[in-house]
């Protein structure tokens, strides 16, 4: 969890749920009780393709028999609200983001779990990265009879708006934290 009201893009973690495997979709909606949703756009949420999945090996070999686990971002959904502070006349966007992860156990998984991290980053006007990146841990446990699993994380992203700005000025990027070697492996073995 991150604190400090002066941060441009504040990310706060919500609930964590483990459940059944789901279907990949991206749903974005915007809600404001006083203004029609179509006139108040939400920030776009983008899953970074090269960081949307990872294959983690137990050793230095990239032989499939040394695979510890494979993980991917299987779904993301977002909903945003424009919040106005009548005292300061400041407006911010609160984006509720739910990210679902799927993992499968490899033949060389000594931990009986998929332990990995993912990140949330924001860009503002002109595509410049804003302060407030957040890296969060994910654990998906395995058992001898359960070699696949999913986890969901819910986070809240707060973006204060400057005058004449709306959600179109901002993007929220999410991806799995991958090493340089894992990124190179992803690029050699692209997935859709």
Q: Look at residue 188 and tell me if it is in a domain.
A: no
Could you tell me if residue 4 is inside a domain? Answer: no
Mode of pairing for the β-strands spanning 171-176 and 44-47: parallel
Domain span at residue 76? 10-181
> Is residue 116 included in any domain, yes or no?
yes
Q: Is residue 176 part of a domain?
A: yes
The answer to whether residue 39 sits within a structural domain is: yes
| Dihedral sign for Cα atoms in the order 3, 6, 11, 14 | positive
Phi, psi of 127 (to 5 degrees): 75, 15
- Express each pLDDT in 113-161 by its tens digit: 999 999 999 999 988 998 888 999 999 999 988 999 999 999 999 999 9
Helix/strand/coil (H/E/C) assignment for every residue in 20-62: CCCCCCEEEEEECCCCCHHHCCCCEEEECHHHCEEEEECCCCC
Q: State both tokens at 72.
A: 């991917």
Higher pLDDT, 38 or 132: 132
Would you say residue 187 lies in a domain? no
How many independent structural domains does the chain possess?
1
* Chain Cα centroid distance, residue 74: 10
CA neighbours closer than 13 Å in the CB half-sphere of residue 149? 22
In this predicted structure, the answer to whether residue 184 has a pLDDT above a threshold of 80 is: yes
Better-scored residue on pLDDT, 103 or 7: 103
Per the document, the length of the chain is: 192
Distance CA 106, CA 21 (A): 17
At 30, list the tokens: 């915007």
Beta bridge partners of 122: 172
Q: Is this model's pTM higher than 0.85 or not?
A: no
Q: Which residues pair with 69 in a beta bridge?
A: 56, 105
Question: Does residue 5 belong to any structural domain of this protein?
Answer: no
pLDDT band at 14 (very low <50, low <70, confident <90, very high): low
User: How much is the pLDDT for 119?
Assistant: 96
Task: Provide the pLDDT for residue 59.
Answer: 82
* Distance between CA atoms of residues 136 and 176, nearest Å: 9
Beta-bridge partners for 151: 18, 101
């Amino acid at each position: 969890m991150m604190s400090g009201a002066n941060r441009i893009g504040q990310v706060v973690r919500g609930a964590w749920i483990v459940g059944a495997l789901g279907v990949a979709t991206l749903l974005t909606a915007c809600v404001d009780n006083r203004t029609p949703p179509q006139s108040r756009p939400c920030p776009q949420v983008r899953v970074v393709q090269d960081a949307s999945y990872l294959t983690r090996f137990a050793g230095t070999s990239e032989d499939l028999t040394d695979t510890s686990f494979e993980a991917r971002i299987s779904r993301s959904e977002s909903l945003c609200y424009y919040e106005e502070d009548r005292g300061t006349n400041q407006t911010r966007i609160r984006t509720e983001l739910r990210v679902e992860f799927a993992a499968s156990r490899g033949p060389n998984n000594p931990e009986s779990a998929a332990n990995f991290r993912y990140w949330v980053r924001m860009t503002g006007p002109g595509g410049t990265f804003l302060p407030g990146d957040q890296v969060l841990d994910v654990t998906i446990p395995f058992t001898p009879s359960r070699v696949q699993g999913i986890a969901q994380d819910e986070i809240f992203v707060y973006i204060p708006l400057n005058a004449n700005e709306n959600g179109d000025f901002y993007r929220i990027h999410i991806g799995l934290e991958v090493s340089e070697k894992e990124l190179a492996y992803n690029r050699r073995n692209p997935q859709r």
